[in-house]
Structures are given as C-alpha cells and as structure tokens.
Amino acid sequence: MASHRKPRGRTAGPRTAPVVGITTAALTSIALLSQSATAAPSAPPKPSLEEVQKKVDTLYHQAGVATEKYNAAKERTTKQQKRVGDLLDDVAQRTEKLNKARQELGTFAAAQYRTGAVSDTATLLLADDAQDYFDQDQLMSRLTSRQKKAVDDYQTEQAATTKKRTEAAKSLETLTTSQATLRSTKRDVQQKLGDARELLSKLTAEEKARLAAIEKRKQEAARKKAEELARQQAEAEAKRKAAEEARQRENPDTGSGSGTGTGTGSGSTGSGYAAKAAKVIDFAESQMGKPYVWGATGPDSYDCSGLTQAAWKAAGISLPRTTWDQVKVGTTVTTANAQPGDLVFFYDDISHVGIYIGDGKMIHAPKPGANVRVESIYYMPIHSVVRPA
C-alpha cells in the first residue's frame, strides 16, 4: 500500500553551512594566551653593580650596628653573670650563718627539754611567725643575754638571707633576658653577613673587577679629601707657631706655654696627651693586617670598637666596649682640629670608629673580609671626633 506520509520538502532559499573552523588570527591569539598561562614567571631583572654595591654596603653597615648591639649585650651578660655568682656566694655564706644560729637555738631547746619542760625556744623554732612570737614580752623576759643574742642573730641572718635570695632570683631573670638578647643579636649579625656574601657570590669575575674599580674610585675620592684636611691643618699649625714665635719675641720672659688649643671646640693637646696618643698609635700600627672579626677584642682579630679599646688600654686608659659608650668618653673636637690619637666616629647611628693618625687618615678595623688598615677618615660619613684623655 502506498505510503501516505508527506515527503520532506527542501527549504527554499540558500542554506547556511555550519561553522566548523575559526580564523587564523583567532588561533594565534589562543596559542599565545595558552603559552602565557603555562609559562613560568619571568625572573626579576638583575641589579646593576651600583645597586649591588649599595646593598652590600648597607648590609655591612647593618651588620656593624648589630655587632655593637651584640657587644653591649655580651658586656651586660658578663657583668650579670658575675653579679649572680657573687649573690649566690653571699646567699651560701648567709645560709651557713643562719644554720649556725638555728643550731645554737636548738641547743637551748634541747637543754630545756632535758629539764622536763616544753622549751620556749623549741616553740619559737616551730612557730609559723617567729616575729610575732619574739614580740611577746613574757618570752623575752625569760631569755638570758646569751639566748637573746642568739635570737637576734637568727632574726638578722634570716632577714638578710631572704633579701639576698630575692636579689639573686631577680638577677637570674635579668641574666636570662640578657642571654636571649645576646643570641638574637648574634643571629642578626650572621644573617646580614650571610646575605652580603650571597650577593657577592653571584657576581662574575668581570663584575667583581668592575666592583673593585668602583671601590677604588671611592677610596681615591676619600683620599683627596684627607689630603685637603691635612693641608688645612698644616696651614693652621704654621700660623699657630708663627703667632707663638711673635709672642715670644714680644714677651721673652713668658715662656713657651703649653698646649695647642686653637679656640672653642679645638680641645687641648699637651705633652701628656701626645705621649699617650703615641702609645695608642704604636699599638694600632702593630695590629695592621689582622682580620676584622665581629665581636673580637684581640689579640688575633678585632672589630672596630675592640681595636680602639685595646689601643687606648695600651696607653693606660680604659674605654667602654661599644662605640655608643666610647663616644661619650672625653672631649668632642671639630674635624679640623683632630689630633693623632683622637677617635673618629661614623654614621648617624655611631656604629663605627677609627683612630686618627694625622693627615686626614685613621687606622681602623673596617668590616668582615678586610684587615686592620690605614684609610681616609672621609671613606665614611663622619659623626664626630672625640679626644678620650
């Protein structure tokens, strides 16, 4: 039988074919986006040599500050350890005296016990509050003079021992804090120096050579400034001598005078100071070539304040350990009036120090990786100049 289904007819008009492709430009864009999404992030640009040098100098400076903090913490810890030791010795001695006083009271108690009576002394030893018991007139009236002395000694030693034990406990707490600070500052110094070494280790041989050239130019600029200071000081000294000779001719009976002060801020440098300064410089010169080691005070290595402390000790003058304390000892003078032996301090935070030797130069322990050497005082920004003695 014939099918009655209506045959499918074709749609009139042009038929649009399905889009099965995309443009070349679209494909390119997708590929680029895909590469951008999967590619590793680009490395940061390599710093310039100038930036590396600035960063290394900053790290060394920060390490210098941390070193002075370490020196201060070490000094505090050493003093605190001695104080704790002295206090514990004192407590031990007082405890021994307290035990003797207690034994003497015990002797009285035993004697009274043998008579068959309950001893007032024994009651005293067993009392919760001895002071209240001592305040009772009826007890004190029965004690002999020897017994009264024994009671007084016991009271005195008990109070003194308790006080010293409290002091020792507080000192131990302070010592624990100082030791924690010491460990923290030590880690800080090591971290700064490690960062500096890592930066330098990444440089090529050619970059290290260029960095050395930059350093040489810096030293040369500092040397020229030192020469200019030396010239100015020589002129000032020549004028001073000429004026002194003129006074001598006008007043031959006044003598030659003493000192070389030239006004406010110049300080005085008599023969006594000059003799001490000569010993300081002799010592410093004998340490030339020894390595800088942070926290070191000699005799094989030094940090900056360790060297200045040891040098002035050779002249019979005791300086504090840190730059922050050394700058407070003596008289501040102007840079133009600096004399051999003076201490030159650097940076706003006073984290470095050297020994002035004249002509704008100093001997100092510079930084890790360098040895004790002569350098222009203008190599670093000057904070102040101090005459210690």
Element holding 352 (H helix, E strand): strand 352-358
Could you tell me if 303 and 375 are in contact, meaning their C-beta atoms sit under 8 angstroms apart?
no
Distance from first CA to last CA of the chain, Å, rounded?
Answer: 135
Whether 61 is catalytic: no
CA angle 365, 48, 195 (to 5 degrees): 45
Element holding 311 (H helix, E strand): helix 304-314
Q: Which of 4, 61, 364, 383 is catalytic?
A: 364
What letter would DSSP give residue 5?
Answer: S
Contacts 24+ apart (CB under 8 A), 57-62: 59/192, 59/193, 59/195, 59/196, 59/199, 60/192, 60/193, 60/196, 60/367, 60/368, 61/347, 61/351, 62/192
Whether 364 is catalytic: yes
In 10 A of CB 178, how many CB atoms? 20
| DSSP-based three-state secondary structure for 200 | helix
Q: Which of 4, 61, 352, 383 is catalytic?
A: 352
Burial class (CB in 10 A: 0-12, 13-18, 19+), 372: buried
CA angle 328, 330, 334 (to 5 degrees): 95
Amino acid at 207: E
Q: Which of 4, 61, 304, 383 is catalytic?
A: 304
Active-site annotation, residues: 304, 352, 364
